[in-house]
Amino acid sequence: MVPKKAPELFYDESRFCGGCGHGIFNRILAEVLEEMDIVSDTIICSDIGCNHQFQFWMNVDAIVPPHGKMGAAITAMKRVRPDKNIMTIAGDGGAYAIGIGETTSAALRNENVVMFVMNNTLFGMTGGQLAPTTMIDQKVASAPLGRTVEDNGQNTDVFKLMGDMDIAYLARTSVTSPANIMKTKKAVRKAIEKHQAGKGFCLVEVLVPCPTNWHMTPAKSMEYIDEVVSKVYELGEKIDR
Amino acid sequence: MEKRIMKGNEAMAEGAIRGGCNFFAGYPITPQSEILEWMSWRQKEVGGVFIQGASEIESVNMTFAARCLGARAFTSTSGPGFSLYQEGIAYWVSAEIPCVVACVQRFGIGDGFISAGQDNFWQAVKCGGNGDYHLIVLAPNSVQESCDMAYESFELAEKYRHPVLLLSDGTIGQMMEPVVLPEMKKYSIDDLDWTISGCKPGEDHKVATDVTYFEPVTEWNHKYIAKMRKIAENEQRWESFEVEDADVVLVAYGISSRVAQEAVARARKDGFKLGLIRPITLWPWPTKAFDAIPDTCKGIVTVEVNMMGQMREEVILRTKGKFKTFAMTVDEPRIHTVNEVIEYAKSVYDGREEEEVF
Amino acid sequence: MEKIKLSVEHCKGCYLCIANCKPGALSISKEVNAKGYLVPQVDQDKCVQCGCCYTMCPDLVFEIF
């Protein structure tokens, strides 16, 4: 048996809702940072949204630019301090809606940075409105009858956006089971290792539940990801070079 | 001391470099692009970082991120680009990240014209973004001042942990004059203790963020307001010419102040008692300068390269309406001539002008 | 012997731990924590220390010895 204990860099309780995927991802990232012994050489760029709450319980240096501007911020951060591990924990709204320009620019330039994007298919903090990742027919607060192509346009799949780009790593994982969480952890570590090797832009999208805005129990939310969300957003490694 | 003939924009860029600037991000826009171009090769020479962002929005936020991590970060823009900067600048203020930004003003609304103007006054001086703030605004009126203000801007911003705006204009930016270049200042990204550099074992982490997330808000707000009061009291700068006995006082900054200063000299030769207050800081506004205006003064005239007389409102406010206040504006993108200024001032003296506030 | 420790004061009642506990060692107790959630309880005898509860928990409730 391997003893399991919360990573030491947590200094407080999380402020996420019960069953929130952000809490699970924060712990995964904290474990990787401690296992690689790089906490003091890591600076995280926050998005604004639920994801930014990592800073209230993780003892890691961070900056918080305006909503969605992570792609620009991490570009500058890495160039100013190339010796540090520069990464962002973003939401799908920040990374693919308001920040799609910054995210895409950073990827097109193949900046040597890491983006972890939490995809819960909606805007969580503001109450569950339509995000670019909201699936066709999915009911959300600003598309109460469900997303339609006519009214809301196609949904965004980062594999389609970046699949042919000259970037180092593009993967999608989930947190629905211990096995999937271990896969997420591997992808997180792989992205950071590529970053340290100077390979270029790495993006790991993590399918996470938002039980509060999905109006489901946490356990049901995990089933929903397995049965519905991950059918629309394919899991796996799309780019690995 | 090194003396060169340079454009105002180039002098500003070089002044920033010599003031320790080791990061620049920007986006091309006339009439400030020389700053961007200068930085593209000059940062390489001094071991700094230059990034041409994919937009103004990228550039302003790159500047924020670089400054958070310790770089003396500078960015420059103009007209509509400055509008795009406003969200980012509000974050600088709220997170107390002392970036420096230059706005080389142009004329007109929206895209407007690429020629010289003074159309960003309201936005630059009153508060361009959301929330309660003014930037420390320095307004150069020569190539030398473009250099000198950029040179000192980082230390001024760091002194208060508050952003500094260099409010130039297309004419000051494009014209060439001799300039004496100062010595290079030494600055390293590890020099300041508030910068974000990775959390060492046993330390509490640092987060460069909007205050409302971390600090007790009321306490922070009191501290912030005290800081703003201190800046308002301590950092007023201006130049006055012949104000003490003036019958009409001109108020002008940037390129307009060059015309106004010449108008004062010529009018005085003809026996017309004209004076000039040139605000060097537009915020804090040099309120103290206006104490010297005699009660007999017939009127104050702001000379501005815009249509609605943006600075006039500031004068009325700061003098509490004590004097009749007029704005000499333009309805096309051009600078006033000296004769036009004198004629207008005489017209004010004779009581032939109507006060107007939009 | 204690195999697992629960810091139930952190619990927000999502019960992802219970949903993923294959041996059925975890169940909802009658204890309410300060946040107002009915917290999980563990049957130490049934626990096989697989760590699934630790892995799924978003709130760092579990410690496996």
Which domains does chain A show, CATH number per domain?
A: 21-240 (3.40.50.970)
Taking CB atoms and an 8 Å limit, are B66 and A60 in contact across chains? no
Instruction: List, for residues B329-345, the tens digit of each pLDDT value.
Output: 999 999 999 999 999 99
Taking CB atoms and an 8 Å limit, are B61 and A64 in contact across chains? no
- The DSSP call for residue A20 is -
Residue of A61, A110, A125 for testing the chain B interface, max B β-carbons within 10 Å: A61
Token readout for B163 is: 């952003």
What are the strands of the beta sheet with A61-63, ordered from one edge? A236-240, A169-174, A202-207, A114-119, A85-91, A42-46, A61-63, B207-208
Q: Measured between CB atoms, which of C15, C49, C64 is closest to A218?
A: C15
Kindly list the distances between the CA atom of residue A178 and the CA atoms of A89, A184, B84, C54, C65, in Å, as whole numbers in the listed order: 21, 10, 45, 9, 18
Token readout for B343 is: 């004629």
Instruction: List, for residues B26-66, the tens digit of each pLDDT value.
Output: 999 999 999 999 999 999 999 999 999 999 999 999 999 99
Collect all residues of chain A within an 8 Å Cβ-Cβ radius of residue B87.
Answer: 66
Kindly list the distances between the CA atom of residue B346 and the CA atoms of B119, B138, B294, B321, in Å, as whole numbers in the listed order: 26, 30, 17, 21
Residue of A4, A210, A212 for testing the chain C interface, max C β-carbons within 10 Å: A4
Residue of higher predicted confidence among B214 and A213: A213
Q: Measured between CB atoms, which of A24, A178, A182 is closest to C58?
A: A24
Residue C63 lies in a domain: no
> Quick one: which of B330, B318, B337, B339 has its CA closest to B106?
B330
Token readout for A105 is: 């620019």
Residue C12 lies in a domain: yes
Homologous superfamily assigned to B2-198+221-234: Thiamin diphosphate (ThDP)-binding fold, Pyr/PP domains (3.40.50.970)
> Quick one: which of B63, B4, B55 has its CA closest to B27?
B55
* Three-state SS at A117: strand
The per-residue pLDDT for A43 is 98
* Predicted model pTM: 0.96
* B239-349 belongs to CATH 3.40.50.920: yes
Rounded CA separation B8/B14 (Å):
10
Taking CB atoms and an 8 Å limit, are C52 and A178 in contact across chains? yes
Token readout for A130 is: 């339509």
Rounded CA separation A98/A94 (Å):
6
Rounded CA separation B350/B348 (Å):
5
Taking CB atoms and an 8 Å limit, are A6 and C63 in contact across chains? yes
Residue A133 belongs to what H/E stretch?
Answer: none
> Quick one: which of B323, B160, B315 has its CA closest to B252?
B315
Token readout for B75 is: 């960015």
Q: What percentage of chain B exceeds 90 in pLDDT? A: 95
The answer, yes or no, to whether residue B352 has pLDDT greater than 80, is yes
Q: Measured between CB atoms, which of C50, C55, C59 is closest to A23?
A: C59
Q: What is the CATH number of the domain that holds C28?
A: 3.30.70.20
* Three-state SS at C31: strand
Rg (CA), chain A: 17
Least confident range of A134-148, B71-85, B211-225: B211-225
Alpha-carbon gap: A159 to the closest alpha carbon of chain B (Å)? 22
Instruction: List, for residues A7-64, the tens digit of each pLDDT value.
Output: 999 999 999 999 999 999 999 999 999 999 999 999 999 999 999 999 999 999 999 9
- Averaged pLDDT score across all residues of chain A: 97
Q: What is the mean pLDDT of residues B83-99?
A: 97
Q: What percentage of chain A exceeds 70 in pLDDT? A: 100
The per-residue pLDDT for B216 is 84
Confirm or reject contact between C37 and chain A (CB < 8 A): yes
Alpha-carbon gap: B148 to the closest alpha carbon of chain A (Å)? 25
In the block, residue with structure tokens 């409730």: C61
The answer, yes or no, to whether residue A218 has pLDDT greater than 70, is yes
Tell me the angle at which helices B79-94 and B56-68 cross, rounded to the nearest 10 degrees.
30
Taking CB atoms and an 8 Å limit, are B66 and A72 in contact across chains? no
In the block, residue with structure tokens 């920033």: B16
Residue C20 lies in a domain: yes
Kindly list the distances between the CA atom of residue B244 and the CA atoms of A62, B81, B241, B295, in Å, as whole numbers in the listed order: 54, 40, 9, 10
Alpha-carbon gap: C23 to the closest alpha carbon of chain A (Å)? 15
Q: What percentage of chain C exceeds 70 in pLDDT? A: 100
Taking CB atoms and an 8 Å limit, are A60 and B205 in contact across chains? yes
Instruction: List, for residues B142-201, the tens digit of each pLDDT value.
Output: 999 999 999 999 999 999 999 999 999 999 999 999 999 999 999 999 999 999 999 999
The per-residue pLDDT for A213 is 98
The per-residue pLDDT for A37 is 98
pLDDT band at A144 (very low <50, low <70, confident <90, very high): very high
Beta carbons within 8 Å of B138's beta carbon, 6+ residues apart: B149, B153, B156, B164, B165, B166, B167, B237, B280, B281, B282
Rounded CA separation B105/B336 (Å):
16
State which residues form the domain around C40.
4-56
How do the domains of chain B map onto residue ranges?
Answer: 2-198+221-234, 239-349
Residue C64 lies in a domain: no
Task: Give chain C's domain count.
Answer: 1
Instruction: List, for residues A146-180, the tens digit of each pLDDT value.
Output: 999 999 999 999 999 999 999 999 999 999 999 99
Confirm or reject contact between A174 and chain B (CB < 8 A): no
The answer, yes or no, to whether residue A3 has pLDDT greater than 90, is no
Taking CB atoms and an 8 Å limit, are B199 and A39 in contact across chains? yes
* Chains C and A contact (Cβ–Cβ under 8 Å for 3 or more pairs): yes
Q: Measured between CB atoms, which of C50, C58, C65 is closest to A3?
A: C65
- Averaged pLDDT score across all residues of chain B: 96
| Cβ-contact C39, C6 below 8 angstroms | yes
Q: Measured between CB atoms, which of C16, C50, C54 is closest to A19?
A: C16
Least confident range of A135-139, B115-119, C45-49: B115-119
The answer, yes or no, to whether residue C60 has pLDDT greater than 90, is yes
> Quick one: which of B7, B57, B49, B53 has its CA closest to B27?
B53
Instruction: List, for residues B96-134, the tens digit of each pLDDT value.
Output: 999 999 999 999 999 999 888 999 999 999 989 999 999
Confirm or reject contact between A8 and chain B (CB < 8 A): no
Collect all residues of chain A within an 8 Å Cβ-Cβ radius of residue C25.
Answer: none
Instruction: Kindly identify which residue of chain A lies nearest to residue C9, measuring between CA atoms.
Output: A13
The answer, yes or no, to whether residue A1 has pLDDT greater than 70, is no
Confirm or reject contact between A67 and chain C (CB < 8 A): no
The per-residue pLDDT for B243 is 98
Q: ipTM score of the complex?
A: 0.97
Residue C11 lies in a domain: yes
Q: What is the mean pLDDT of residues B221-249?
A: 97
φ/ψ (deg, to 5) at B319: -95, 5
Instruction: List, for residues B273-331, the tens digit of each pLDDT value.
Output: 999 999 999 999 999 999 999 999 999 999 999 999 999 999 999 999 999 999 999 99
Write the Ramachandran bin of B96: left for phi over 0, alpha for psi from -120 to 50, otherwise beta: left
Instruction: List, for residues C22-37, the tens digit of each pLDDT value.
Output: 999 999 999 999 999 9
Q: Which chains have at least 3 CB atom pairs separated by less than 8 Å from chain C? A: A
Confirm or reject contact between A99 and chain B (CB < 8 A): no
Amino acid code (one letter) for B158: E
Same-fold call for B2-198+221-234 versus B239-349: yes
Size of interface A-C (CB pairs under 8 A): 73
pLDDT band at B80 (very low <50, low <70, confident <90, very high): very high
The answer, yes or no, to whether residue B354 has pLDDT greater than 80, is yes
The answer, yes or no, to whether residue B213 has pLDDT greater than 70, is no
